[in-house]
A and B are shown apart, each in its own frame.
Chain A
Amino acid sequence: MNKFLLFLKHEFKVNKTAFMIPFIIQGINIALSLIILLLVASKLIPANGTLDEGLNQLFSEINVGIDSELSGVVLMIIGYIMTSISVTIYGVLVGMIRAGSVLNYEIRMGYELFYRSLPISIWSRSVAKYLNSIVGAFLAAIGVAIVNYIFASCMFSTVFADNGLVWTMLFQGMLAGFISTIFAAFLFGSIGFLLSAVFTKMALLKGAFILLITGFVELLLKAFGIKFLPLFSYLTGSIAKLLRPTSMVMTSIENTKDIQNLTHIPLTNFFHTEQIWIVLISCGLFALSTIIYKYKTLDA
């Protein structure tokens, strides 16, 4: 097997537990949701009735027609949150948390000498680590999204009469979530990657502290009318931009009179030019991280 692919496989093996965490959390989420649903349904069981009747009672109380104005929209937004925003949050959090320790873990634990004594370049190792932490986290988020999508669609299909529409619309929500996640995971994962190259211990915490200080300095400079490298503003602005595909879908839900239109949102609406910049900045951050990592001294 090619050296790089072998190392990629190795990176996955040593980090596979981290990839399971989103699935475990989401499994617990779903299990809890079902337990709550069943508990509520059990309270609604008529005298001498069955759980099935209790569930029917519960669904009839919240049942709405697809044309119903507010409650239908609110439920649909909940569905979108389940399928898209949660995915983005997973992607960013898992990506950033994983990336935040990816380049310093082996140094911290004393394994780095073993890896540096192998005939594989630091750049190859760095790419394998980057792909595993960021793309890996993104793939884990997709897994969670699919689980969410199936769960949310099954649940909402029992509420809405038009099952096909629910599945299509929530698929759009999931797609919006995917696209937001890709770019968000790239940017924030790359920041985490850089922090892991710079700091050996508590990289994310130190990064967050620096970000806060930067924000404070920016505010101070702004108060004096000086605009200098607005890093904090850029990052906070990026979050809003990255979530645009999801927010766009949600705005469409709120604005549309005919909810059927939501199944026809053009895919191009999910993309914008800032995403290109985010990819370029992420690549730059990756290169900078690898150079710092390469020159990190392993003192005897």
Chain B
Amino acid sequence: MSTLEVKGVTKHYKKLCALDNVSFEIPQGRIIGLFGRNGAGKSTLMRCMLGLLRHEGSILLDGEEITYSKNSIFKKIAFIPDVSAMDVRLRVKDAIELVRGINPSWNEERFDTLFARSNLPLKNKVSTLSKGMKTKLYLLLTLCLDVDILLLDEPTLGLDIQFRKEFFNSILGEFYDGKRTIIISTHQVEEVENILQDIIFIDKGKIILYDSIEEINSTYRQITVPQNSKEAILALNPLSVFEGLGNITAIVKGEIDLGDLLYTYTNPRIADLFMAMVGGSNE
């Protein structure tokens, strides 16, 4: 199984800096959520990790550099892009035949299981499929590969809520065996947060957070106090403050010491923590 190392990766689109000296290491067997606003650099980072974009810095897969257009890495990594990239000129069976024939890591048994659940019409042209069915086909083709790392960039875009739930809670489980690594980028944070082990936040091309869920839960707190205790909350240097109906909710880092003040606290939701870290406070 493989590990991925990203070292000082910088990517410019003309004058725009899409990735700014990004560095991190992904050990094997983790399910990682990559979150950021539109244009934060998520897709660029994923494409750099796949050798689909030229960049500064280096990306290593098991110690071996992933250079630009090094297609052999796709024996170990599979990718689902955020755009509908399926060639509509193909029939469903042609697309399956192509990926099956070209990819040595094709798993026929998994294909049979997933295909039976997909309701995909084999003889139809991809152009006749709905957007959701096209996405299903792409997911099917990718999840049938016995690769070490799976990169999913908005994998459930265009799918109905029922299939999205099924995908994250059940279908993805067909692929994940505890040794494989899955990196998911999505805006539907609440749908994936239960399956994630690590979180990466990216903003303006920089990694602003990379931690495990356990570490995040032990570091960050979401506390709620009565509205008249605002000053005590502000004294804690909160990441965000939200004034609700008679209460103030804040996300703070580190230990909480509010003296005798009555308060409740929980682990912050990923979406709330993200908003807090990229400047989502209403203060």
Report A's interface with B, CB cutoff 8 A.
1, 3, 6-7, 10, 13-14, 106, 109-122, 294-295, 297-300
Q: Can you show 30 pairs from A to B with CB atoms below 8 A apart?
A: A6-B101, A10-B94, A14-B89, A106-B87, A109-B87, A110-B84, A113-B85, A114-B85, A114-B87, A115-B87, A116-B52, A116-B71, A117-B52, A117-B74, A117-B79, A118-B99, A119-B73, A119-B75, A119-B102, A120-B71, A120-B102, A121-B71, A294-B69, A298-B47, A298-B52, A298-B53, A299-B13, A300-B18, A300-B44, A300-B46
Report B's interface with A, CB cutoff 8 A.
13, 18, 43-44, 46-47, 50, 52-54, 68-69, 71-75, 78-79, 81, 83-90, 94, 98-99, 101-104, 138
Q: A6 CB to closest chain B CB, in angstroms? A: 4
Chain B residues lying within 8 Å of A1, measured Cβ to Cβ, are: 101
B47 and A300 contact, CB distance less than 8 A: yes
A300 to B47, CA, bound (A): 7
B75 and A113 contact, CB distance less than 8 A: no
Q: A16 CB to closest chain B CB, in angstroms? A: 10
Interface centre among A114, A120, A300 (most CB of B within 10 A): A300
Selected from A10, A114, A297, the residue in CB contact (under 8 A) with B54 is: A297
Residue of A nearest to B103 (CB): A119
B69 and A113 contact, CB distance less than 8 A: no
Q: Besides the contacts A14-B87, A14-B89, A297-B54, what 14 more A-B pairs have beta carbons closer than 8 Å?
A: A3-B101, A112-B85, A113-B81, A114-B85, A116-B69, A116-B71, A118-B71, A118-B98, A119-B72, A119-B74, A121-B71, A294-B69, A295-B54, A300-B44
A113 to B141, CA, bound (A): 14
A119 to B74, CA, bound (A): 5
A196 to B270, CA, bound (A): 45
Q: B269 CB to closest chain A CB, in angstroms? A: 27
Residue of B nearest to A7 (CB): B102
B98 and A117 contact, CB distance less than 8 A: no
A13 to B95, CA, bound (A): 11
A3 to B72, CA, bound (A): 13
A122 and B43 contact, CB distance less than 8 A: no
A154 to B75, CA, bound (A): 56
Residue of A nearest to B83 (CB): A110
Chain B residues lying within 8 Å of A7, measured Cβ to Cβ, are: 98, 102
Chain B residues lying within 8 Å of A299, measured Cβ to Cβ, are: 13, 53
B69 and A10 contact, CB distance less than 8 A: no
Chain B residues lying within 8 Å of A10, measured Cβ to Cβ, are: 94, 98
Residue of B nearest to A10 (CB): B98
B71 and A119 contact, CB distance less than 8 A: yes
Residue of A nearest to B101 (CB): A6
A3 to B101, CA, bound (A): 7
Chain A residues lying within 8 Å of B86, measured Cβ to Cβ, are: 111, 114
A6 to B68, CA, bound (A): 24
Chain B residues lying within 8 Å of A13, measured Cβ to Cβ, are: 90, 94
Q: B18 CB to closest chain A CB, in angstroms? A: 7
Chain A residues lying within 8 Å of B73, measured Cβ to Cβ, are: 119
